[in-house]
Structure 1
Amino acid sequence: MPEYKWNPQSLLELSNGYWQTSVLHAAIKIDLFSVLDEQALRAEELADKIGADKDGLQRLLTALVAIELLVKKDDCFSCTRSAAVFLSRQSPLYLGNIIQHHRQLMESWAHLDEAVMTGQPVRAAYAGDDPEWRRNFLLGMHDLAMLLAPKLISQIDLGGRRRLLDLGGGPGTWAIHFCKKYPELQATVYDLPSSRSFAEETVACFGLEERVGFVGGDFLLEKVSGSYDVVWLSHILHGEGPQEVRIILDNVASVLEPGGLLLIHEFVLDDAGSGPLFPALFSLNMLLGTPAGRSYSGEQLFELLRDAGFKDTQNLDLDLPGSSSVIAAKV
């Protein structure tokens, strides 16, 4: 038999890979890792503690041991080191909020064929209608930014700049980290009014209330006011179609001072349209949930920036984990 990139076994593993994903999602939803980070427990003890069916819980625990997120010793279950660091609420590196957001997306992915055939989203927009959805999304964005911001910001020079606009900044995590690195910087987080409490709470945790403010509004419906010498746009453009992206970029150009810097942080497709994998998958995620959102290629973003009057456009050569990129441009 000739060798193939994919074989029956690997295709079946790809097909049922969501089973492992569902195990992780269920464990996060019932907060198993936080409980087992505090003490090792037998299945029946844990079932009594969280009010679960013993047999159902035993099966879940066995799967988590097989996945190597839990360990079992003398019939007691406890977290692996990785689970304790990233999946327990007691940890400052907790990723449970973004994982719960991923869980909320799963139902729509089961209807991907419908979205492909109709070109229409199959889930409701998540911008504020469901409080739990919004909370998981905002806190999940905070979790991810807490991991990535120190590494990314250390590679970006904002020396001499004084006023930063974090457009669509949600909980304000990026603005906070920019201000931590640059003591002379003042920042404004602009997002929907429903994000205000999350942003103010996050800013207060870092003691930056005097330097990071919040303005509520919708940058697709309202003109952003103020004057800034740097604007940060992190994972905003993929939620919109080209027409809306033009509105956003025009809005940014109107508040940037001459010589002002725009930084776009996005999942960027290659110009050949052949990947990378995560931006390609993320573009489908936008098809499922937005009327026109998508992942853009670098060439597409450069053209949109030129149309909005930006110049000196470049893809920054940064050492970043994952598949994100940062594009810089000036007015």
Structure 2
Amino acid sequence: MLNTDSILDPTQLLDDLRAAYLSQLLVAGTTRFDVGKLLTAGPLSYESLREKLGLQERSATVLLTGLCALNVLQVNQDNLVELTAYGQEKLSPESPFNLRGYIGLGALGADVQMMITRLEQDSPGGDISFVYHDDAGPSALDDPEISDALTRAMAARARNVAPAVAQQLDLSSCRHLLDVGGGHGIYSLELLKKFPNLKATIIDRESPLKVAKEYAAEAGVSDRVEFCFDDIHTYQNQSEADVVLMANILHDYSEQHARKLVKHFASQLPAQGRIVILDAFLDSIPEGAPPVSTGPRPVAAYSAMLFSVCEGRCYRLDEYQSMLSDAGLKVDENVGLVPAHGCLLTGFSS
């Protein structure tokens, strides 16, 4: 069994890995979409700017959030999007100190061109999706080789974070954990080791569950885990689980599907049950403001990465809070923090 008592924080390394995606947004926003030119004359409403950019809402939100995190854009007190003083100097074609040409050199790269295409099409790269819908096209998760590699890659990150999750969550009063799209199962396994009275059900596709079974055997907790091959969108809870874990799963889906997933599992909770969301949260926005967060910068970069490979993005804290409250749950005001910008948000049933 792995010794998890002295894990070094992986946050900086993951931030450095994802930073390239923010650079891609900067180049795309300076060249193909040219927000510096569009906003030189003055601020625009989000909808007007989005129309001029020719982007769907998800693409516009990811792009503008990235540029706000880089401090070249901001939303002013009138809820209009404008260049910051820094952005005016470095991105406006009228500024003698603009860096448009230098930044534009990045557009020669294939990665930037691919990001531009994804923004224009509002879709991830490739012809297959890394999320599963029963009524949609093929999923990469149904290819055993791809699924195995992806599951083990996600497990590597989870091993760095799961011990902190187990320290933050008090599940001493819970009896059964439902791990939605739990794949490798690392978070469940760590919680089972922490809470000996807890049992778990991991729901996922067949290939990821093979990896979870392997890891559960290594952790010595196989007798307390049920591995359930099912569709998370339609799964019906037979175990009366009193805690549902959604760990880094909602960001894979569009906001519409993410909200449906939360409602689906909230409706099956027993009294005093709970849903726990583990994810990297973007900062909240004021009520009535356009859907553009200011960061944090590393999470904006992560959002751009997710945008590139799935149908979702990183969601803001207020978006996750509304997902839980709209599902009829009472949202805990306390947000737990774990490495890699992970946040833990809990909603309780009445």
Could you say which TM-score interval applies, normalised by the shorter chain? 0.5 to 0.7
Note the alpha carbon deviations across 1:180-238, whole angstroms, 9 max, x for none: 00011011111112222111111111121110111011112444443111111100000
Aligned length: 229
Q: Structure 1 residue 246: deviation in Å?
A: 2.1
The letter for the 2-side match of 1:112 is M
Counterpart for residue 279 of structure 1: 299
Selected match of 1:119 from 119, 122, 143: 122
Query: How has the CA–CA distance of structure 1 residues 160 and 313 changed in structure 2, closer, same or farther, with 3 Å as cutoff?
Result: closer
More strand by share: 1
Counterpart for residue 99 of structure 1: none
Q: Which has the higher contact order (CA 8 A, sep 6+)?
A: 2
| In structure 1, distance between residues paired with 2:185 and 2:114 | 33
Note the alpha carbon deviations across 1:258-296, whole angstroms, 9 max, x for none: 1112110011100140111222122222322223x1111
| In structure 1, distance between residues paired with 2:218 and 2:192 | 14
Does 2:330 match 1:330?
A: no
| In structure 2, distance between residues paired with 1:214 and 1:269 | 32
Does 2:218 match 1:205?
A: yes
Selected match of 1:290 from 302, 310, 329: 310
User: For structure 1, which segment, 163-172 or 221-230, has the greater mean C-alpha deviation from structure 2 after superposition?
Assistant: 221-230
Note the alpha carbon deviations across 1:133-179, whole angstroms, 9 max, x for none: 32222112211121211122112211121111111110111111101
Note the alpha carbon deviations across 1:78-107, whole angstroms, 9 max, x for none: xxxxxxxxxxxxxxxxxxxxxxxxxxxx98
Identity of aligned residues (%): 29
Q: Tell whether the 8 Å contact from 1:167 to 1:233 is kept in structure 2 after alignment.
A: yes
User: For structure 1, which segment, 114-123 or 256-265, has the greater mean C-alpha deviation from structure 2 after superposition?
Assistant: 114-123
- What is the aligned-residue RMSD (CA, Å)? 2.5
Selected match of 1:163 from 159, 173, 176: 176
TM-score normalised according to structure 1 size:
0.64
TM-score normalised according to structure 2 size:
0.60
User: For structure 1, which segment, 308-317 or 168-177, has the greater mean C-alpha deviation from structure 2 after superposition?
Assistant: 308-317
Unaligned runs of 5+ in 2: 1-18, 25-108, 131-139, 286-292
Q: Structure 1 residue 309: deviation in Å?
A: 0.7
Unaligned runs of 5+ in 1: 1-12, 19-105
Q: Tell whether the 8 Å contact from 1:314 to 1:329 is kept in structure 2 after alignment.
A: no
Selected match of 1:189 from 195, 202, 207: 202
| In structure 2, distance between residues paired with 1:107 and 1:194 | 32
Counterpart for residue 154 of structure 1: 167
Q: Tell whether the 8 Å contact from 2:321 to 2:331 is kept in structure 1 after alignment.
A: no
